[in-house]
Amino acid sequence: MWHKLTTCSKNISLRWQLTVWYVVLMAFTLAVFSTFIYCNFSLSLRHELDTLLFFQGEQILSSVEAENGNLRVEPDLPILPGTYFSLFDATGKIVDTNMPAALAADLPVKNFVVNQPETVKAQNNEWRVLLVAKRGESHARLEIVRSREEIERPLKRLLVLLLITLPLSLVVAAGGGIFLARRALNPIDQIVAKARHISATDLSQRLGLPHSNDEIGRLVTTLDDMLDRLNRAFQRQQQFTADASHELRTPLTVIRSQAETALNKEHTPEEYRQTLRIICKQTEWMGDLVAKLLILARGDSGREQLVLEPVNLADLVEGVTEEFQATAAAKGITLTAHVKDAVSIWGDQTWLTQLLANLVENAIKFTRKGRIDVGLKIKNKWALLWVSDTGVGIPPEHLNHIFERFYRVDKSRSRAEGGFGLGLSICEWVVRSHGGKIKVESQVGRGTTFKVWLPIHAEER
C-alpha cells in the first residue's frame, strides 16, 4: 500500500503535492483544534450546570423550615424554571417536592452520593442530579435535578457550526495552497524553461532571473555559477582538443610527406636512413606529447594515484640541481642550490622530482646567461621551494595564463625548442595534488621566479 502511494506521488506535480500536504496538515490542525474547542466548551457548560445545581441546592436548603415537626420548603422561594427538587427527611421519606412523580420514581435518593453531581438517563432524557445534605439535627437531604438538554442544545449548535466551517476552511486552504504553491514554484518553471534553451554547445547563456536572498535566488545563483564553471570547462576542453589536434597535425604531416617522398622514387640508402630518422624523431615527439596528455587526463579524472611517502626535499633539491649542472654550464649559466632548512613532506618522490625538474629546465631554456637559484626553506609551516632565474621574463599579460594547457608566451620559439606548453600544467597538477599552491613572479628582461608551497610532513612541523 505504501509503495503504491509512493509511486503515485511521484507522478503528481510538486505543486499538487505541496497543496495536498498543506490541506492534510490544515485538516489535522483544524480537527484537533475543533475537538479541543468542543470538549472544552462541553466541560465548561457542565461545570456551569453543576455550579447552578449547588447554588440552587444551598438556596433551597437554607429556606427549609420545620412546621409542626415536619420539614417544608418556603413556598415563596424563587426557583429557576427547569429546576426540580425533592426534600427527604432523616428516614428517607419525601416531605416536599416539585418533581413529577414519574421522574422522582426513576431517581431514588439512595442511588446518589452527597455533593457528587451525576448524569442519569430517565424519562427519555438525560438529567444532571445533585444530592446535598442540610447541616443540623434534621438530617434533611435535598435531591435537585436539571435537564442536560440546556447543555446539549449549544453543543449541537457548536457541532453544526464546526461541521460547516471545517470543510469551508479546507476549501479556502486548498485554494490558498494552490495559489501559494504556484507563486512559490513559478520561478522553478521559469528556471526549467530557461534551462531547456541552454544547449550543450552554447553554455554562454544564463538563467537571467533575479538573484534574491531566498532559496530560489540561491538556487539561481548556484545554477548560474555552475553554468559559468561548465562553460569555462567546455571552452578549455574545446581549446584543449583544438590545440592537441594542431600539435599532432605538424608531425603527422611531416611523417606523411617523408613517407610519400620515399615512395615516389628511388633513393640512396643514406636518403632512406635520413627519412627514417626524421620519421622516428617525429614519432618520439608525438609519443612524448601523448604521454603528457595522458598524465593530465588521468590527473583530471583522478586515476593518477600518488605514491605517498616521506620525501626529503633538501635531498631532492640537491639532486635535481646536480642533474642539470652540466646543461646549465653548457649555456654559461650558474646553477646554485640554496637549502636553508631540512624539510620533509608527505608526497610522491617521482612527481615532486618531475615538478622541480620541469621548473629548472624551463629556467635554463629561457635564460641566455646569468644565474639560476633553486631554494628551499620553511615558511609559516609550509615548505617553500623556489626557482629563480635572470632570463627573458614573462610579460604581465601572460602571467595569468601560463599554467593553461598548450599556452605559450612565444609559440614559435617553444616549438623550435621542442616545447608543448604542457610542462607548467603538469607542475600545477602535481602541486595541487599535494595540497599545495604555485605562483609566479616575473619582470621582462630581469627574470622569473616560481614559488611552490607544500604542506610539511606532520612529524617535521
The model's confidence at residue 461, banded by pLDDT at 50, 70 and 90, is: very low
What does the pLDDT read at residue 44?
92
DSSP secondary structure string, 388-424?
EE-SS---GGGTTTTTSTT--SSHHHHHHTT--S-HH
What does the pLDDT read at residue 237?
72
Q: Is residue 383 a contact partner of residue 313, using CB atoms and an 8 Å limit?
A: yes
Q: Which span out of 16-25, 88-97, 99-108, 142-151 was modeled with the highest average pLDDT?
A: 142-151
Q: What is the mean pLDDT of residues 112-135?
A: 86
Q: Which span out of 182-191, 370-379, 422-431 was modeled with the highest average pLDDT?
A: 370-379
Instruction: Say yes or no to pLDDT of 187 above 80.
Output: no
Task: Tell me which fold the domain 305-455 belongs to.
Answer: Heat Shock Protein 90 (3.30.565)
Task: Tell me which fold the domain 15-156 belongs to.
Answer: Beta-Lactamase (3.30.450)
User: Between β-strands 447-455 and 437-443, what pairing exists: parallel, antiparallel or unpaired?
Assistant: antiparallel
Strand order in the sheet with 141-147: 94-97, 83-88, 141-147, 125-133, 118-122
Q: What is the pTM of this model?
A: 0.51
What does the pLDDT read at residue 328?
92
Q: What is the pLDDT of residues 8-50, one digit of tens each?
A: 555 667 777 878 888 888 889 999 999 999 999 999 999 998 8
Block residue for cell numbers 545563483: 221
Residue bearing the bigger pLDDT, 284 or 367:
367
Q: What is the mean pLDDT of residues 292-318?
A: 79
Share above pLDDT 90 across residues of the chain, in percent, rounded to a whole number: 21
Instruction: Say yes or no to pLDDT of 288 above 80.
Output: no
* 214 three-class SS: coil
Q: How far apart are CA 300 and CA 440, in angstroms?
A: 22
Q: What is the mean pLDDT of residues 204-213?
A: 67
β-sheet bridge partners, residue 202:
199
Out of 3.30.450.20, 1.10.287.130, 3.40.190.10, 1.20.58.220, select the CATH number for domain 215-298: 1.10.287.130
- Candidate from 171-185, 266-280, 351-365 with smallest mean pLDDT: 171-185
What does the pLDDT read at residue 106?
81
The model's confidence at residue 2, banded by pLDDT at 50, 70 and 90, is: very low
Q: Is residue 235 a contact partner of residue 273, using CB atoms and an 8 Å limit?
A: no
Phi, psi of 141 (to 5 degrees): -130, 150
Q: What is the mean pLDDT of residues 219-228?
A: 78
CA distances from 45 to 38, 118, 223, 280 (A): 11, 14, 61, 107
Q: Where in the chain is the domain with CATH 1.10.287.130?
A: 215-298
Q: Is residue 116 a contact partner of residue 43, using CB atoms and an 8 Å limit?
A: no
Q: What is the mean pLDDT of residues 286-304?
A: 70
Phi, psi of 146 (to 5 degrees): -140, 150
Q: Where in the chain is the domain with CATH 3.30.565.10?
A: 305-455
Instruction: Say yes or no to pLDDT of 315 above 70.
Output: yes
Q: What is the pLDDT of residues 319-369, one digit of tens each?
A: 999 999 999 999 999 999 999 888 888 899 989 998 999 999 989 988 988
Q: How far apart are CA 293 and CA 287, in angstroms?
A: 10
The CA-based dihedral angle spanning residues 146, 148, 151, 155, taken in that order and rounded to the nearest 10 degrees: -170
Share above pLDDT 70 across residues of the chain, in percent, rounded to a whole number: 85
Q: What is the pLDDT of residues 403-438, one digit of tens each?
A: 887 777 665 554 445 466 778 888 898 999 899 999
The CA-based dihedral angle spanning residues 106, 109, 112, 117, taken in that order and rounded to the nearest 10 degrees: 80
Q: How far apart are CA 122 and CA 145, in angstroms?
A: 11
| Residue closest to 316 by CA, chosen among 366, 287, 351 | 351
What does the pLDDT read at residue 68?
63
